[in-house]
Chain A
Amino acid sequence: MMFIDAHAHMISRTTDDYEAMAASGVVALIEPAFWIGQPRTNVGSYFDYLSHIVGFERFRAGQFGIRHYCTIGLNSKEANNEALAEGVMEILPRFAVKEGVVAIGEIGYDEQTALEDRYFRAQLELAKELGLPVMIHTPHRDKKRGTTRSMDVCIEHGVPPSMVVVDHNNEETVEEVLDRGFWAAFSIYPSTKMGNARMVEILKRYGGERIIVDSACDWGISDPLAVAKTARLALDRGIPEEHVRLACYANALAAYGQSGQMNEADWLDPPAIDQRTLYEGNSVLRGGREPVIESPGERRGMDRLIIE
């Protein structure tokens, strides 16, 4: 089965992770612009970070046979630093139109402050102007209210639910998100957001329509194999294969494919055949290794399937 990990912060991960993901069936992933774990103090470090995820990280993923896409945005935590936020808003348009950018995101609320609200709205307007989908990061605290509010504001700005992926859902939020016609994404993230056994129960209850499973793997304790493990667990527990395919592959493609920047042909018929954009360099291979993608074997097992 082919998988898309629709939320993975690969800037924080190693080449082992790329190899393991490719071996587990991940053909494409989306790297949302987000908090790197320590607040950025000036727009320059944001500039370099965004350059990195539209540039080198895309190239690096390609070296391991995975197509890399990203979303561009000012995250809610850093929206609270007004000087930084103003600077970032100025540079966002130039990054949002780069190749492989599939949405404005991840944006939304953290503490639900007035500044977070202002920049969330400004970014919804940018998404509209550029014809891009939106990826919403729902808050960890006061999640239910924050999720409802995020969707209200999208509607208020005339962004149709079909263009919005609401991420980090749980049992408490899923129903309203689906009822209102938004895409409902779930981050299988150990100990905090959602476990995969719980996810299987949600698939059992709601089917696969408009549901997206992702790993949200980043610099914290997280599992880049979360999508593949959830798929296997779901199949083991009797979820119809078609529902699994929708949630772990097809829905992400349908939602983010609306950007025009993500097509199945990208991995079924990979860009290596385009001489102009052939990514081939010496950075990851460090000059010495033959540029062959080897099958990494079962170094990173699928044997511990349950993610709590």
Chain B
Amino acid sequence: MTAPRQLLAEWLAPRVAPEAAAWLEGQLRRLARDGSERDLVVTLGLIPRRLGKADLDLSAAELAAAAACRPGWDPSRWSVDTAARVLALLTLPDDDEAFASRFAGLCRDADAGEAIALYSGLPLYPGQPRLEAQAGEGLRGNIRAVFEAIAHRNPFPREQFDEHRWNHMVLKALFVGSSLAPIQGLDERANPELARILCDYAHERWAAGRPVSPELWRCVGPFADGPMLADLERAAASSHPRDRAAAALALAASPAPGARAVLDRLRDEADRIAAGKLAWADVA
């Protein structure tokens, strides 16, 4: 079984200039040996200057190797500097507790690119449960790309977040205009409390005359009954095709007896769902 560290090194090798690779090699050796804090922070800071910030642009085979090595690991949007920074962190001496406190320290003063790298690497670090609180802290910031480094294409939230943290991550994704589709485990971790929060949010948006993201209904569908069914009816009556498609998908997922009747009014969408031609991927 290949370790993430080995994969990262393999991916970087053909993608960076020889001098930069030699520099990184030297820094990693130092980190593995004693790993002083100063060496670590300077290495992390200089990585984009020495290696650049190009897209990593992994092949399908490389992505498959990532997922085989660590289920859920999806570095499809990673850049060279992100990969090298995560590699540097994985080079530190093994000690879960020490790692968690160093990780929190690094997050405290990270710039945007660094924060993206630190949080993108979450599923690979030692002592996963110890990193949960810092991941929660990372979601509180106001830079969308940093939020998405945690929330999107990352198995860490689905595995580590409790229901409260999970629900607030999904709500914030909508709040900052981000999308839900790249959140791993979205359907599996849907829950009645989240459905209630999202419907309340939809009501706030409607009251303010603002649009409601159709993706929202994906987390509502499985629990839709009573007043929530009325909310789906409202979405189903929208003049926007995406709203109607989302309402139909949510209604199709609802176990409530009343859902069928509303869905019947969305003939076209219902037929496409039945034929396997309409799915949440089409709404995102």
Contacts and interface: CB of A to CB of B under 8 A. Distances in A.
Contacts of B176: 280-282
A98 B41 CA distance: 10
B145 A277 contact: yes
A97 B142 contact: no
A50 B109 contact: yes
Interface stretch (B44-52, B64-72, B189-197): B44-52
B77 A94 contact: no
B10 interface: no
A276 B252 CA distance: 35
Interface stretch (A51-59, A158-166, A215-223): A51-59
A280 B111 CA distance: 15
A96 B45 contact: yes
Nearest to B78: A276
A213 to B, nearest CB: 28
B142 A283 contact: yes
Interface residues of A, number: 30
A276 B116 contact: yes
A93 B41 contact: yes
Contacts, number: 79
Nearest to B172: A282
B83 to A, nearest CB: 12
Nearest to A290: B210
Interface string B94-115: 0000000000000011011110
A44 B132 CA distance: 24
B175 interface: yes
Interface in B186-241: none
Which of A50, A97, A276, A283 gathers the greatest number of chain B CB atoms within 10 Å? A276
Interface string A20-52: 000000000000000000000000000100110
A287 interface: yes
A170 B109 CA distance: 37
**Most chain-B Cβ atoms within 10 A of its Cβ — which of A50, A275, A277?**
A277
Main secondary structure of the interface of B (DSSP, over half): helix
Nearest to B141: A281
B168 interface: no
B111 A98 contact: yes
A54 B44 CA distance: 15
B80 to A, nearest CB: 11
A93 B42 contact: yes
A94 B113 contact: no
A99 interface: yes
B79 A276 contact: yes
Given A47-B109, A51-B109, A99-B48, A276 B41 contact: no
A209 to B, nearest CB: 29
Contact of A279 (B41, B45, B112, B175): B112
B144 interface: yes
Nearest to B40: A94
A282 B108 contact: no
Nearest to A50: B109
B46 A275 contact: no
Nearest to B82: A276
A59 B111 contact: no
Contacts of A130: 42, 46
Contact of A282 (B42, B48, B114, B175): B175
A58 B82 CA distance: 20
Interface in B116-154: 116, 141-145
Q: Which of B45, B114, B176 has the most CB of A within 10 A?
A: B45
Given A96-B45, A97-B41, A281-B176, A55 B144 contact: no
Nearest to A131: B49
A239 to B, nearest CB: 37
10 contacts: A59-B142, A93-B45, A97-B44, A97-B49, A99-B111, A260-B49, A276-B79, A280-B143, A280-B177, A281-B141
Interface of A: 47, 50-51, 54-56, 58-59, 91, 93-100, 130, 260-261, 275-283, 287
